[in-house]
Amino acid sequence: RKEVEQDPGPFNVPEGATVAFNCTYSNSASQSFFWYRQDCRKEPKLLMSVYSSGNEDGRFTAQLNRASQYISLLIRDSKLSDSATYLCVVTNVQRDSNYQLIWGAGTKLIIKP
């Protein structure tokens, strides 16, 4: 089992629809969680950190369920510009106190007009 798993995608969604991404992680001691987006042939950019209480930023809502060890990202009223690959990132603290970033494989989103 991969440490961080995401929906394989791609998601083909009409403009204006709501899209949900899920990400599961295997280490129950994982500490921090992020969603990044990556456009084709570009570097990843931070979309949102994910907090235990859930957080919202405009059309984007991120939630964390520690009991079930999954993170979700919801995009409402999707725009053409939302087309990208969405990456889930989990941070684990190692024994030497250094932390380890584990990246999901990403889910590609294609918004169609």
Partner 1 sequence: GAVVSQHPSRVICKSGTSVKIECRSLDFQATTMFWYRQFPKQSLMLMATSNEGSKATYEQGVEKDKFLINHASLTLSTLTVTSAHPEDSSFYICSAVTGTSPSDTQYFGPGTRLTVL
- What are the residues binding partner 1 (CB under 8 A)? 31-32, 41-46, 49, 87, 91-93, 97-99, 101, 103-106
Least separation in angstroms between residue 91's CB and partner 1 is: 4
Q: What is the dihedral of CA 95, 99, 105, 111, to 10 degrees?
A: 150
> Which residue's CB is nearer to partner 1, number 38 or number 61?
38
Which amino acid is it at 48?
M
Distance of CA 3 to the CA centre of its chain: 14
Give the number of other CB atoms < 10 A from CB of residue 93: 14
CB of 77: closest distance to partner 1 in angstroms?
A: 25
Minimum Å gap between C-beta 55 and partner 1 is 13
Q: Which is nearer to partner 1, 20 or 46 (CB)?
A: 46
Burial of 55-66, coded b for 16+ CB within 10 Å and e otherwise, reads eeeeebbbbbee
CB nearer to partner 1: pick between 74 and 105: 105
